[in-house]
């Protein structure tokens, strides 16, 4: 085996080993629910890799070395963005400065340039498909190699042959592709794990909902009936007040039980064609009194076209939209505006509900739809509303995308298949 390949193989180990560590770290984070761990590992793993690669490079000649540090560097920037990447840049430059030699200037050119390029790419990279990610990471390595090549041609009178450059480039690109592949599979396995655990929780709730709710709702209804009767006949004011309080509490309990019942039967039982504009309009009318209590205005805009029909069950669809609008109103206790809009896109209707409320963190957005997830006080929130909404909309073939910014507001985008 060629000497370059042999020497650089040790570098490959330094790249793969921290990745294995990252996988373990993800597991620990998942099991013990340590939120800070994931974030910091985006920096720590590449730092370890870079440090090890630079400590055991392939020495070419006085002041010049080859190693694979560019791979953890580029991956760190692409996955972590510039905020995490800047640590890596500072580390690489400092380390290379200490080693000294003309290679330092080549490093400055290559890594500063690549830092800018990958910082710009990072937000797009995270959303790319697997194939595009592989392509992009391969291309970024290629560009970084080109910069290094040109810089070293200008700054040094080295005696490196083209074959050596080709060999170095090939190794770099192959290792980069393998590293990206591993990063992707680690990410994927954890998204699947999170989905499975969410689905498990939903299943437990679903069983509970189906078995108990009915049995509880009927006695609640008769209790309420009797209390109402007593309330009407009672003359003692103090007792009347107690009774009215009991009725309110019973109503709250019934509402929760109803949530469970709707959830257990989220699938439409008798589907009909729903004129979506009309349905949403009715929901807004129901919610307006609640909104005006906290000074919230609801605006509604409709696009042209009479084709805006979806298939579903009237009551359930309205409930689904109502829960989302209710949350939007509740997110703005000091008032504000809820904007409801509709757009027709291909064969889908995009229904958007935007508020200017307190927003959510990424972690909170990920937990939406999970049973009992609420940030509200016990008397205000049950954490069942969105679970119900999501299951109804998903059973209608819909998809929900939530974007939120803390302190700025939240956007719910509901994509529903249009009925032609």
Binding footprint of Mg ion on the chain (CB under 5 A): 327, 385
Could you say which of Mg ion, ligand ADP, none residue 410 binds, taking C-beta under 5 to 8 angstroms by partner kind? ligand ADP
Q: Does 354 contact ligand ADP by CB under 6 A?
A: no
Structure tokens at 268: 């439409």
Could you say which of Mg ion, ligand ADP, none residue 311 binds, taking C-beta under 5 to 8 angstroms by partner kind? none
- Among 358, 398, 400, 416, interactor with ligand ADP by CB under 6 A: 358
Whose CA is closest to 328, among 285, 370, 284, 366?
284
Structure tokens at 96: 């290379």
Q: Which is nearer to ligand ADP, 180 or 410 (CB)?
A: 410
Sheet containing strand 409-417, edge to edge, reads 296-301, 336-345, 348-355, 409-417, 399-405
Q: Which is nearer to ligand ADP, 84 or 358 (CB)?
A: 358
Distance CA 22, CA 37 (A): 10
CB of 34 to ligand ADP, least distance (A): 22
DSSP letter assigned to residue 420: -
From the number of C-beta atoms within 10 Å of its C-beta (0-12, 13-18, 19+), residue 311 rates as: middle
Distance CA 252, CA 245 (A): 11
Q: Does 113 contact ligand ADP by CB under 6 A?
A: no
Could you say which of ligand ADP, Mg ion, none residue 68 binds, taking C-beta under 5 to 8 angstroms by partner kind? none
Q: Does 64 contact ligand ADP by CB under 6 A?
A: no
Distance CA 163, CA 2 (A): 11
- Among 57, 80, 385, 398, interactor with ligand ADP by CB under 6 A: 385
Q: Which is nearer to ligand ADP, 249 or 347 (CB)?
A: 249
Q: Does 152 contact ligand ADP by CB under 6 A?
A: no
CA dihedral 344, 128, 76, 113 (to 10 degrees): -90
- Among 218, 273, 301, 375, interactor with ligand ADP by CB under 6 A: 375
Q: Does 368 contact ligand ADP by CB under 6 A?
A: yes
Radius of gyration of the chain (CA): 29
Q: At what angle do helices 162-233 and 3-32 cross, to 10 degrees?
A: 10
Structure tokens at 359: 């927003």
Q: Which is nearer to Mg ion, 268 or 385 (CB)?
A: 385
Q: Which is nearer to ligand ADP, 80 or 357 (CB)?
A: 357
Structure tokens at 180: 């990206």
Q: Does 357 contact ligand ADP by CB under 6 A?
A: yes
Please choose, out of 116-124, 234-242, 297-305, 370-378, the segment that lies near ligand ADP by the rule CB under 6 A: 370-378
User: Are 323 and 384 in contact, with CB atoms under 8 Å apart?
Assistant: no
Q: Which is nearer to ligand ADP, 83 or 376 (CB)?
A: 376
Please choose, out of 54-62, 216-224, 284-292, 350-358, the segment that lies near ligand ADP by the rule CB under 6 A: 350-358
DSSP string, 184-212: HHHHHHHHHHHHHHHHHHHHHHHHHHHHH
Point out which residues bind ligand ADP (CB under 6 A).
323, 327-328, 331, 355, 357-360, 368, 373-376, 381-387, 410
């Amino acid at each position: 085996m060629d000497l370059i390949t042999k020497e650089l193989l040790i570098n490959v180990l330094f790249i793969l080993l921290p990745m294995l560590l990252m996988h373990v770290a993800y597991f620990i984070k998942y099991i013990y629910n340590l939120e800070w761990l994931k974030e910091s590992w985006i920096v720590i793993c590449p730092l370890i890799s870079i440090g090890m690669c630079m400590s055991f490079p392939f020495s070419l000649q006085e002041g010049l070395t080859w190693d694979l540090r560019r791979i953890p560097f580029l991956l760190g920037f692409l996955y972590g963005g510039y905020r995490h990447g800047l640590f890596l840049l500072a580390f690489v430059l400092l380390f290379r400065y200490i080693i000294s030699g003309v290679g330092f200037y080549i490093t400055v050119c290559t890594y500063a340039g690549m830092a800018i390029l990958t910082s710009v790419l990072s937000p797009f990279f995270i959303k790319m498909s697997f194939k595009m990610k592989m392509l992009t990471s391969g291309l970024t390595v290629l560009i970084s190699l080109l910069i290094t090549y040109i810089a070293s041609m200008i700054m040094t009178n080295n005696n490196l042959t083209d074959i050596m450059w080709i060999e170095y480039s090939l190794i770099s690109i192959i290792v980069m592709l393998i590293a990206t592949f591993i990063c992707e599979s680690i990410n994927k396995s954890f998204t699947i794990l999170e989905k499975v655990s969410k689905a498990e929780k939903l299943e437990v709730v679903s069983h509970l909902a189906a078995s108990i709710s009915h049995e509880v709702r009927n006695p609640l209804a008769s209790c309420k009936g009797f209390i109402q009767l007593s309330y009407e006949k009672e003359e003692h004011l103090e007792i009347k007040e107690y009774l009215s309080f009991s009725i309110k509490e019973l109503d709250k309990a019934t509402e929760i039980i109803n949530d469970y019942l709707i959830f257990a039967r989220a699938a439409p039982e008798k589907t009909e064609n729903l004129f979506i504009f009309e349905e949403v309009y009715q929901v807004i009318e129901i919610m307006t009194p609640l909104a005006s209590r906290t000074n919230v205005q609801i605006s509604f805009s409709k696009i042209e076209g009479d084709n805006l029909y979806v298939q579903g069950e009237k009551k359930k669809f309205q409930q689904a939209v109502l829960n989302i609008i209710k949350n939007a109103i509740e997110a703005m206790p000091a008032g504000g505006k809820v904007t409801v809009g509709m757009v027709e896109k291909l064969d889908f209707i995009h229904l958007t509900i935007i508020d200017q409320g307190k927003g959510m963190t990424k972690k909170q957005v990920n937990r939406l739809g999970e049973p009992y997830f609420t940030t509200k006080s016990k008397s205000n929130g049950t954490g069942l509303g969105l679970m119900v909404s999501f299951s109804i909309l998903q059973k209608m073939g819909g998809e929900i995308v939530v974007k939120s910014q803390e302190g700025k507001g939240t956007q719910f985008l509901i994509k529903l298949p249009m009925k032609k």
